[in-house]
């Protein structure tokens, strides 16, 4: 479902010192030749109205209703001013509407930016030529890794290449489709062992002569070692706790360190290891992981 107007949960009046409102008031005073003026905004929701005054004085007041979009009713009171022409009232209405819409878009942009900062996924916005327009903090961390160390990635077991070279090629591929095909989705493997689910989607330009963009999201997923352990655990009927111990063994933790990680005693860890050896027919940690590698 789309919307023709900026969406804000509840319209609220700008602050009295809002730069956009102050600029509008200065413009209105200049164009109308008023000695003073007063703007009243009434939101369509439950938020209270707000009055803005520019200059001082009284008497000879002209009140102009202004069109301020669907979210506000507005009126402008002019002090000691000549009757403005209809075209001037239309110009003032358009100017006020632009000020309020710009503020609404700024609010939404700030909310969206803060929301993207909280996600553990990497979110990047590319232009249709592969240049990065936006990267949230998680994605920016990947960019830093790419700069400091050669962060290599691969898809479908193809040769390794720098991660952002790989992403740029996917962006160019999606950008060239002109919406005729579905977005690209798949899994990218990093040389260091991490796996990332990747979605690449075209973002059509909001206006006919505007630039297109491509949105890329990278979500951490299970590594190959995690997948191997899950398959191995299922085939040998390991309990959830035994699977946790197996994963910690794979990380090279000592018995004491595993006990601290899981919040249980070292004695209980040793019991779980005995059960693992018995179920898998192995005699030690090295033999156990050798079996995992062969089974996978």
| C-alpha dist (Å) from residue 274 to 29, 209, 244 | 86, 69, 14
13 in any annotated domain: no
Give the predicted TM-score (pTM) of the model.
Answer: 0.59
Q: pLDDT of the chain along its 296 residues, tens only? A: 344 444 556 788 999 999 999 999 999 999 999 999 999 999 988 889 999 999 887 778 999 999 988 889 999 999 999 999 999 999 999 999 999 999 988 888 888 888 888 888 899 999 877 788 889 988 988 888 777 667 888 888 789 899 988 998 899 888 876 545 568 888 888 877 778 889 999 888 776 666 788 999 998 876 666 667 777 888 888 898 998 888 887 766 788 888 998 999 999 999 999 999 999 888 887 788 777 766 55
Q: Is 181 found in the same domain as 230?
A: no
pLDDT in tens, 120-175: 889 999 987 778 888 998 898 888 877 766 788 888 878 989 998 899 889 988 88
In angstroms, rounded to a whole number, what is the distance separating the alpha carbons of residues 112 and 233? 41
Domain boundary among 221, 244, 277: 221
CA distance 204 to 179: 8
Query: What is the C-alpha separation between 125 and 133, in angstroms, rounded?
Result: 5
Closest CA to 184 of 143, 217, 142: 217
Question: Does some domain include residue 11?
Answer: no
Q: How many domains does the chain have?
A: 3
Q: Is residue 8 part of a domain?
A: no
What are the Cα distances from residue 129, in Å, to 59, 169, 212? Answer: 60, 10, 9
- Report the CATH number that the domain containing residue 206 is assigned in CATH: 3.30.450.20
Domain around 152: 120-221
Measured CA distances, 161 to 17, 188, 198 (Å)? 52, 11, 16
Chain-centroid distance of CA 142 in Å reads: 15
The verdict on 49 and 112 lying in the same domain is yes
Assess whether 160 and 178 both reside in one domain: yes
Among candidate residues 221, 254, 286, the one where a domain is terminated: 221
Count, residues in the chain: 296
The full 3-state SS of the chain, as one line of letters, equals CCCCCCCCCCCCCCCCCCHHHHHHHHHHHHHHCCCEEEEEEEECCCCCCEEEEECCCCCCEEEEEEECCCCEEEEEEEECCCCCCHHHHHHHHHHHHHHHHHHHHHHHHHHHHHHHHHCCCEEEEEECCCCEEEECHHHHHHHHHHHHCCCEEECCCCCCEEHHHHHHHHHHHHHCCCCCCCCEEEEEEECCCCEEEEEEEEECCCCCCCCCEEEEEEEEECCHHHHHHHHHHHHCCCCHHHHHHHHHHHCCCCHHHHHHHHCCCHHHHHHHHHHHHHHHCCCCHHHHHHHHHHHC
- 178 shares its domain with 231: no
Residues 128, 212: one domain?
A: yes
Token pair, residue 177, equals 């489709």
Residues 91 and 103 in one domain: yes
Say which CATH number the domain at 261 has: 1.10.10.10
Q: Which residues are CB-contacts of 167 (< 8 A; sequence separation ≥ 6)?
A: 124, 126, 153, 198, 200, 216
On whether residue 138 sits in a domain, the answer given is yes
Q: Say if residue 232 is in the same domain as residue 147.
A: no
Lookup: tokens for 15? 């602050």
**Same domain for 239 and 263:** yes
Assess if residue 3 is contained within a domain: no
**170 in a structural domain:** yes
pLDDT tens, position by position, 264-280: 999 999 999 999 999 98
Same domain, 124 and 215: yes
Does any domain span residue 1?
A: no
Among 174, 199, 221, the domain-final residue is 221
């Amino acid at each position: 479902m789309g919307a023709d107007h900026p969406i804000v949960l509840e319209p609220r009046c700008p602050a009295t010192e809002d730069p956009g409102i102050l600029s509008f008031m200065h413009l209105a005073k200049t164009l109308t030749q008023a000695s003073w003026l007063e703007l009243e905004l009434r939101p369509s929701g439950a938020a209270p109205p707000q009055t803005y005054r520019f200059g001082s004085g009284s008497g000879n007041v002209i009140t102009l209703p202004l069109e301020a979009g669907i979210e506000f009713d507005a009126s402008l009171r002019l002090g000691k001013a000549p009757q403005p022409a209809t075209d001037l009232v239309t110009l003032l209405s358009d100017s006020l509407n632009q000020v309020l819409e710009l503020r609404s878009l700024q609010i939404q942009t700030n909310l969206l930016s803060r929301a993207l900062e909280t996600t553990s996924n990497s979110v990047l916005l590319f232009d249709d030529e592969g240049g990065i327009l936006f990267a949230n903090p998680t994605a920016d961390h990947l960019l830093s890794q790419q700069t400091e160390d050669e962060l290599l990635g691969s898809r479908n077991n193809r040769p390794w290449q720098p991660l952002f070279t790989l992403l740029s090629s996917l962006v160019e591929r999606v950008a060239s489709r002109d919406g005729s095909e579905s977005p690209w989705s798949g899994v990218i493997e990093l040389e260091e062992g991490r796996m990332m689910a990747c979605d690449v989607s075209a973002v059509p330009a909001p206006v006919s002569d505007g630039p297109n963009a491509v949105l890329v999201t990278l979500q951490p997923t299970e590594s190959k070692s995690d997948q191997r352990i899950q398959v191995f655990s299922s085939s040998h009927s390991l309990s959830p706790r035994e699977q946790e111990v197996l994963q910690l063994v794979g990380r090279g933790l000592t018995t004491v360190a595993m006990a601290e990680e899981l919040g249980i005693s070292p004695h209980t860890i040793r019991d779980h290891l005995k059960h693992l050896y018995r179920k898998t027919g192995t005699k030690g940690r090295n033999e156990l992981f050798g079996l995992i590698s062969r089974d996978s």
